[in-house]
Chains A and B, each alone.
Chain A
């Protein structure tokens, strides 16, 4: 299976800029990208920029996670100056303070915007608050770039619905054993959505899905949980070892992509309902019971026989949930493996050896 040509991040951003579009560096994890699209802004997500961390350690202690470190490194390398805005959703303590560090002290040319996501449980006050936050962000964007064109938000939601359908199709096919691609290819394609505009990404995803349908390689089926799919060598190891990622519970992937599509009602209210119904997530304050039930349901749905946790070092939201999740999975006769990773650093041979042992244990 060959991956259709995916425009590089640099190419796509340059083309977007040339067409008069605005750019937003969007930090992890959950934010209303539809609002940005509606204002003619392309969100470019900052998860794991491939840079050597040389400047960021002057601002951050060694016990801060590599997602935050790499994000700051990117801004210190001047990327923030190429953006119109930098958006910091409220994800965790470290991301919260990074936002303040950038906004208060480092002050790049781009305007820093902050977006507070309410935390579970999501009662009526959270629903109203999230809607208020959407209105506030809409006003902020209009204040910076002028009012959004009429019908733009409706168009953005239509893209969102299409994308939601394509993501669901990709995940459903994979879970049912109907995708003839490995983890490395699956995530390489889906991660293009972190910077491609829907007008470019929808046809790409559609075309890829059409040719990706088929029998997967034989192997032990697993659910991949954690923050990001990767590092790359970890995905390659999974593929090479015959560990088939049948589903995932990754913060950057299914926890954000498998959202219920926004309905046809008032657009911001529809986005609110979508947000509240997203899958359980450590960063949203979901209970351990919800997360455990979700993980077990993913394993059942995809006939996975084990769970691999690929967790970024120092990631508190994930690390706190792990022991109880693993205990619950064990009770459900689902073995699990924990691999701690740093973004942009190879997982290495040791991880590969442990994955191999894990596969043998499951066999």
Chain B
């Protein structure tokens, strides 16, 4: 790492970014506030802080090379190991979501397709490969990785995708293989994962150019744990009636727990968010003004439709109060135990929803329906995400029959809107709305 690069990063962190932010705020002030939608309650005040944090993260990323080792990481990887070695982390999935929300998905996917990547592949991957090939991104510029770190606890796709990047960038790929839990997790599985963690540390040390410090790792893991716990508490506030935020808010507010987990800024953010949500619950302020029906969402967000869907449902007095997706960064954190750091880290990351059998997901969803007093279920069949989507038809049918709640499947994609038929989705949703009103 070079001293000049470190000095530059430090300068940008302390002076450059704050100056840029002030300028942006001044410009925004001239434009005036956005017109309020009467279907929604007052917006979350801390949304501005969230925007600032994520902007800062992406802005400073471009100054990280040379100052810090840069790692590109999957959303479900045990990033605490990297934080302890001071890596600057970039999350291609989060970047994919950003591109999706900015409606850049098809453009970047097309770049990857022109290079020979099938349009049938995950669109997060195609967006990312499209960025790799073209340099285009709404985030300005992403730093090239010194290391790639992936875990197949969310899908095997990330393994194939990261292999391509490792080949193209010519950097090491560290893979954390988490055996799929067809039933209960086994001791052999945990031993295997612990063994991998021990084996990967020298590789990470080499890429980072520093030694792994167990004490630092424990401190990071503690921070990560409290951050995820706080995120879980934020989600739990949505048990209140009316719920103080919607899942569409949560899709956006989960960015720090995904991308900045293990850093103080993430925990600080959720302290602010949690306090605000509690205050809204106390004051009876709902995310939507007339919460008549409470819904649950299954699968990743349809990023280019978040706002449209948010308005569509709010106009009908329907609020999404739970989602398997947002829950994923909170649901297993209780397993993280500092007295058995590597073993518990393995368990925490291996037990996430997508690394578990469908029966597990069914039971989890049934519990969420009960805990959050859910009236209906919307299932996003995401053609990009096979581990999330294969099995959903049965899951929807069984849940609907068992719990007596209406459910609907929408066929779409997470970022590539060429695979979304508005008409077909609305037709299905209209039938769902009718069933929900009749229930």
For residue A287, CB closer than 8 A to chain B, the reply is yes
Contact A116 B394 (CB under 8 A): no
Contact with B along A276-292 (1 / 0, CB 8 A): 00000010010111000
Chain A residues positioned under 8 Å from B168 (CB to CB): 324
For residue A326, CB closer than 8 A to chain B, the reply is yes
Which of B243-251, B310-318, B333-341, B383-391 lies at the interface?
Answer: B383-391
Chain A residues positioned under 8 Å from B383 (CB to CB): 61, 63
Contact B163 A126 (CB under 8 A): no
- With known contacts A58-B393, A101-B394, A285-B175, A316–B157 Cβ distance under 8 A: yes
For residue B166, CB closer than 8 A to chain A, the reply is yes
Chain A: CB-nearest residue to B118: A319
Chain B residues positioned under 8 Å from A98 (CB to CB): 390
The minimal Cβ–Cβ distance linking A107 to chain B, given in whole angstroms, is 11
Interface residue count for B (Cβ, 8 Å)? 53
The minimal Cβ–Cβ distance linking B347 to chain A, given in whole angstroms, is 16
For residue A50, CB closer than 8 A to chain B, the reply is no
Contact A100 B156 (CB under 8 A): no
The minimal Cβ–Cβ distance linking B397 to chain A, given in whole angstroms, is 9
Contact A105 B116 (CB under 8 A): no
Chain A: CB-nearest residue to B386: A93
- With known contacts A63-B383, A119-B152, A129-B191, A105–B358 Cβ distance under 8 A: yes
Contact A96 B163 (CB under 8 A): no
Contact with B along A155-188 (1 / 0, CB 8 A): 0000000000000000000000000000000000
For residue A219, CB closer than 8 A to chain B, the reply is no
For residue A124, CB closer than 8 A to chain B, the reply is yes
Chain A residues positioned under 8 Å from B194 (CB to CB): 125
The minimal Cβ–Cβ distance linking A92 to chain B, given in whole angstroms, is 5
Question: Could you tell me which residues of chain B, from 161 to 200, have a CB within 8 Å of some CB in chain A?
Answer: 161, 163-164, 166-168, 173, 175, 177, 179-180, 182, 186, 188-189, 191-196, 198-199
Interface of A is mostly: helix
The minimal Cβ–Cβ distance linking A132 to chain B, given in whole angstroms, is 4
Of A68, A94, A104, the most chain B CB neighbours within 10 A belong to A104
The complex places the Cα of A282 from the Cα of B116 at a distance, in Å, of: 17
For residue A123, CB closer than 8 A to chain B, the reply is yes
For residue A351, CB closer than 8 A to chain B, the reply is no
Question: Could you tell me which residues of chain B, from 339 to 363, have a CB within 8 Å of some CB in chain A?
Answer: 357-359, 362
Which of B49-57, B63-71, B120-128, B210-218 lies at the interface?
Answer: B120-128
- With known contacts A97-B387, A98-B390, A282-B160, A128–B116 Cβ distance under 8 A: no
The complex places the Cα of A98 from the Cα of B194 at a distance, in Å, of: 28
- With known contacts A114-B182, A324-B167, A104–B357 Cβ distance under 8 A: yes
Chain B residues positioned under 8 Å from A90 (CB to CB): 179-180
Contact B163 A285 (CB under 8 A): yes
Interface residue count for A (Cβ, 8 Å)? 53
Chain A residues positioned under 8 Å from B192 (CB to CB): 118, 125-126, 128-129, 132
The minimal Cβ–Cβ distance linking A285 to chain B, given in whole angstroms, is 5
Chain B residues positioned under 8 Å from A61 (CB to CB): 381, 383, 389-390, 392-393, 411
Contact with A along B287-304 (1 / 0, CB 8 A): 000000000000000000
Chain B residues positioned under 8 Å from A136 (CB to CB): 186, 188
For residue A191, CB closer than 8 A to chain B, the reply is no
B195 interface neighbour in A63, A128, A288, Cβ under 8 Å? A128
Chain A residues positioned under 8 Å from B430 (CB to CB): none
Question: Could you tell me which residues of chain A, from 49 to 105, have a CB within 8 Å of some CB in chain B?
Answer: 58-61, 63-64, 68, 90, 92-94, 96-101, 103-105
Contact B390 A323 (CB under 8 A): no
The minimal Cβ–Cβ distance linking A11 to chain B, given in whole angstroms, is 33
- With known contacts A287-B167, A314-B120, A324-B168, A100–B182 Cβ distance under 8 A: yes
The minimal Cβ–Cβ distance linking B325 to chain A, given in whole angstroms, is 16
Question: Could you tell me which residues of chain B, from 113 to 136, have a CB within 8 Å of some CB in chain A?
Answer: 115-118, 120-122, 125
For residue B159, CB closer than 8 A to chain A, the reply is yes
Chain A: CB-nearest residue to B389: A61
Chain B: CB-nearest residue to A314: B120
For residue B155, CB closer than 8 A to chain A, the reply is yes
Contact A125 B199 (CB under 8 A): yes
Contact A320 B161 (CB under 8 A): yes
The minimal Cβ–Cβ distance linking A255 to chain B, given in whole angstroms, is 16
**Given A97-B391, A285-B175, A316-B121, 13 more contacts at CB 8 Å?**
A63-B383, A64-B386, A96-B387, A99-B182, A100-B359, A104-B359, A116-B179, A125-B193, A126-B196, A132-B188, A132-B191, A319-B121, A320-B160
Q: List 8 A-B contacts (CB under 8 A).
A: A61-B383, A97-B358, A116-B182, A121-B175, A128-B191, A287-B166, A288-B167, A322-B118
The chain A residues found within 8 Å of chain B, CB to CB, are 58-61, 63-64, 68, 90, 92-94, 96-101, 103-106, 114, 116, 118-121, 123-126, 128-129, 132-133, 136, 282, 285, 287-289, 313-314, 316-317, 319-324, 326-327
Closest 7 CB pairs of A and B: A125-B195, A323-B116, A320-B160, A129-B192, A97-B390, A114-B182, A104-B359
